[in-house]
Amino acid sequence: MSLVTIIDYGSGNLRSAANAFERQAALMDNPPGILVTADPEKVRVADRIVLPGVGAFADCAAGLNAVPGMRDVLEERVIRAGTPFLGICVGMQLLATEGREKAITPGLGWIEGAVVHLTPSNPSLKIPHMGWNTLAIQKAHALLAGIPEGLHAYFVHSYHLHTDRPGLTIATTDYGGPVTAIVGRDNIFGTQFHPEKSQALGLALISNFLTWTP
């Protein structure tokens, strides 16, 4: 049986994410195991890796760095071995070169760019951006296969990843201007929105991830 690990590094309640992955896995003929873990050795043997995250960039980066060996295992499995990887919300933001929330904090550096504050052109739009938005797909991707246009994704954030390489932006949404919704390259995929809370769109994306072979 294959294994999907959802990394627990002290960033929020992971139960809703695990429930969504377990629900979609149960629909498969040969369902993978879904494991929430803070053990780098469990991540080392995983067939797919999920990095969630809620809260401030610096706090999440510190939490990830505080798990002995986790950064090294992620580099080994995701960058060198090409294991399929999904970052969610701040877990997606951590892919960036750096975060600029209160202070400059280094990220994983897998997606060139910085996590910057949202600056909607309409001053009546509140920060944080919280609610349902449709996606504007910038380029096709296997994780979006079979997902019709017009479905809504659920966002809760005050910052987004502004990449230095536009080709790494897979989808945007509009909140007083374009906001990065999905980034990715090779075996790496990240969503600013929460797939586990995004109903039909999110569950379809999770299902695609569970069978994705980059």
The answer to whether residue 194 is catalytic is yes
Residue 29 CA: distances (Å) to CA of 5, 166, 211, 212:
19, 37, 11, 15
Give the C-alpha separation, 106 to 166, whole Å. Answer: 20
Catalytic residue among 129, 157, 160, 194: 194
Catalytic residue among 60, 129, 157, 196: 196
The answer to whether residue 196 is catalytic is yes
Q: Which are the contacts of 80, defined by CB distance < 8 A and separation ≥ 6?
A: none
Which runs of E-coded beta strand occur in the chain?
Answer: 3-7, 33-37, 48-51, 85-88, 96-99, 105-106, 111-117, 129-134, 136-137, 152-157, 159-163, 169-174, 178-185, 188-191
Which runs of E-coded beta strand occur in 12-150?
Answer: 33-37, 48-51, 85-88, 96-99, 105-106, 111-117, 129-134, 136-137
- Can you read off the two tokens belonging to residue 198? 């995004």
Catalytic residue among 60, 89, 101, 160: 89
Cβ 55 vs Cβ 88: under 8 Å: no
Which residues are tagged catalytic?
Answer: 89, 194, 196
